[in-house]
Structure 1
Amino acid sequence: MLLPLSCTMATSIVPRSKPMERGVVLQRTLQMDSRQKYFLYVPRQGGNAAKIFITVHGISRNVREHAKEFAAYAEKYGVVMIAPYFPADRFPDYQRLGRKGNRADIVLNAIASEVAQLTGATPDKLYLFGYSGGAQFVHRYMFAYPERVARIVLGAPGWYTLPDASLKFPIGIQPVQSIPQVQFNSARFLNIPVCVLVGEKDNRRDAELNKSTTIDRLQGKTRIERGRRWVEEMSYQARLLGLPTTYDFHLLPDSPHSFAISMERGGMGERTFDFLFPES
């Protein structure tokens, strides 16, 4: 997808003293950590109290591509967009929140807080999308911080955390010492609407796919099968609690496991924003 000229990239860091530039994808450095980068887009028409949309890259770390692809949608829907960068040397386990290396969940909270202060956007309820490894992070973030999440869309995760307290995290939601202070409350995260999007051609057991016998047994052998099973299980657990939560699953036409192709051919951007912001 080609962005309009008004959505071109600006790679320099924005001086703190200047007003926040609108209509341009900006690369920023987190004030509290000079090593932490993220991309930001503030829509021209988005005023104070705008909603915050967050897009999280997969293990290819294509954060610039995420920012460029979603900027036009952020402008159209009047939301502030954040695309955090989780480099492999500092965040080797970001998909699972960060059991080793830095904690990606804590960093994301810091970025969202900073952006809210800079732009006047509302950080109380976040709208999140992630692709592949980023989708793994996003649904686990929802599990850990349900009070901060409004809705999420997951683009072709390789595997999932199940809402099962008998299984240790990250397979289930039994707490572990590697991520202290994180507790999982199923009654709260099962109340958050979720949409899972997987390419109709994303049925290969490629090198990036988790092929453990445990995951194969519990979730299936392909991203399509695992996505469907997870949506069914989440919906079932929500109904047990009397929650009418929306869980959607959609196949993206003519799309393999590729962020770029899923956006271009599969309509992933449109489906994502239609689900996250149905009132817009």
Structure 2
Amino acid sequence: MAEQTGKPEDEAAARGKALYEYGPTSIYSAKHDPRFPYCLYVPPNLGKTGEKPELIVAMHGTGRGFTGYRDAFSAFARWNNCIILAPLFPIGVMGDGYRDGFKYMREGNLRYDHVLLAIVEEVCERYGIAFERFGLFGYSGGGHFAHRFLMLQPHRLWGVSIGAPGSVTLLDPTRDWWVGTRNFAELFGQELDIPAMRKVAVQMIVGAADLETWEITHKPGGRNWMPDANHAGATRPERLASLRDNFAENGIAARFDLVPNTPHDGQKVVPTVEDFFAGELKKLRSARKAA
């Protein structure tokens, strides 16, 4: 009789890991702060191709449909050897029902860029892969987050796709945050590093039919109101074009995709975002091989 080599408990652990930690994973609470869950898509053949995997973060919008974005990028992740991380920054983490905290990067004692980086480190530890830099996509409220994360943590990104933010922060030393960056160092304890931003591949994407303004027009008395809150334009395409032009003035190149016949729907722009990420992954991996 052949000797049994695997213990039942070891086999059960392996099956559990395959079921819950690969493919579309379960939802985890972040170790550093359990208020912030996340889920992943991890290719079942991770680490078996000989090519280093990469990480792409898909940030939800105001509706918090984080699993939907994870699933939307899953086929791309499988064929491009990437892990997809979809965090959830819930409404009202301070107990006040506020929806927009993550968009503006600071809420009470929270820094949402730090929350994301802690989750990324947790993913690195779980899968034994060091992701010094990663790709970031965000649409609508996630587009708010994505371009402001770029300002705060440019050295952690190899690419960022900024999708249809309702409001934009311009690199403007004459206006305060969030409209501009005059008090950036005072608020965040670091200087704005525009040379580092220039090294990150940037896509800006918005639907050509994304023209409703009811949700994005700031009015006096609103929680996010401040002078010049609407000065970047009336619609999302206008505001994103203002950000593109502002970046260009500061030497930051951006691919600008105005998607025809598309309203405010993040799922509809995913194929164009995948095209951007595929091109940047090819450059990243070619440069690594040439080094």
The normalised TM-score by structure 2 is: 0.79
Q: Which residue of 1 aligns with 2:278?
A: 274
CA contact 1:58–1:131 (8 Å) conserved in 2: yes
Correspondence 1:54-65 to 2 at 5 A: 54-65=57-68
CA contact 1:130–1:153 (8 Å) conserved in 2: yes
State how far apart, in whole Å, the 2-side matches of 1:227 and 1:172 are.
14
The reply to whether residue 233 of structure 1 matches residue 246 of structure 2 is yes
Q: CA deviation at 1:262?
A: 3.5
Q: Which residue of 2 aligns with 1:83?
A: 86
The reply to whether residue 224 of structure 1 matches residue 231 of structure 2 is no
Q: CA deviation at 1:250?
A: 0.9
- 1:191/1:270 CA distance change after superposition, 3 Å: closer
Question: 1:192 is aligned with what amino acid?
Answer: V
Segment of structure 1 superposing worse, 70-79 or 28-37: 28-37
Correspondence 1:106-185 to 2 at 5 A: 106-175=114-183, 179-185=187-193
The reply to whether residue 22 of structure 1 matches residue 35 of structure 2 is no
Q: What whole-Å deviation, never above 9, does each CA across 1:118-153 have from its counterpart, x for those lacking one? A: 112332111100001111111111101111111100
Q: Return the index of the structure with the highest Cα Rg.
A: 2
Q: CA deviation at 1:165?
A: 2.2
- 1:33/1:229 CA distance change after superposition, 3 Å: closer
Q: CA deviation at 1:251?
A: 1.1
Question: 1:235 is aligned with what amino acid?
Answer: A
Q: CA deviation at 1:99?
A: 3.6
The SS at the match of 2:264 is: coil
Q: Which residue of 2 aligns with 1:66?
A: 69
State how far apart, in whole Å, the 2-side matches of 1:227 and 1:274 are.
22
Unaligned runs of 5+ in 2: 1-12, 220-224, 286-291
CA contact 1:98–1:104 (8 Å) conserved in 2: yes
Q: Which residue of 2 aligns with 1:205?
A: 213
CA contact 2:154–2:197 (8 Å) conserved in 1: yes
- 1:275/1:96 CA distance change after superposition, 3 Å: farther
Unaligned runs of 5+ in 1: 1-13, 239-244
The reply to whether residue 52 of structure 1 matches residue 65 of structure 2 is no
CA contact 1:53–1:80 (8 Å) conserved in 2: yes
State how far apart, in whole Å, the 1-side matches of 2:172 and 2:233 are.
16
Aligned length: 256
Question: 1:193 is aligned with what amino acid?
Answer: A
State how far apart, in whole Å, the 2-side matches of 1:156 and 1:276 are.
21
Q: Which residue of 2 aligns with 1:241?
A: none
Q: CA deviation at 1:174?
A: 2.4
CA contact 2:56–2:82 (8 Å) conserved in 1: yes
Q: CA deviation at 1:269?
A: 4.3
State how far apart, in whole Å, the 2-side matches of 1:43 and 1:109 are.
21
Correspondence 1:229-268 to 2 at 5 A: 229-238=242-251, 245-263=252-270, 267-268=271-272
CA contact 1:52–1:82 (8 Å) conserved in 2: yes
The normalised TM-score by structure 1 is: 0.81
Question: 1:271 is aligned with what amino acid?
Answer: D
The SS at the match of 2:166 is: coil
Q: What whole-Å deviation, never above 9, does each CA across 1:173-205 have from its counterpart, x for those lacking one? A: 223588442431222223322110110101221
Root-mean-square deviation over aligned CA pairs? 2.6
The SS at the match of 1:277 is: helix
Question: 2:281 is aligned with what amino acid?
Answer: F
- 1:277/1:246 CA distance change after superposition, 3 Å: farther
Question: 2:120 is aligned with what amino acid?
Answer: A
Segment of structure 1 superposing worse, 65-74 or 29-38: 29-38
- 1:183/1:90 CA distance change after superposition, 3 Å: farther
The SS at the match of 1:147 is: helix
- 1:270/1:34 CA distance change after superposition, 3 Å: closer
- 1:75/1:252 CA distance change after superposition, 3 Å: same
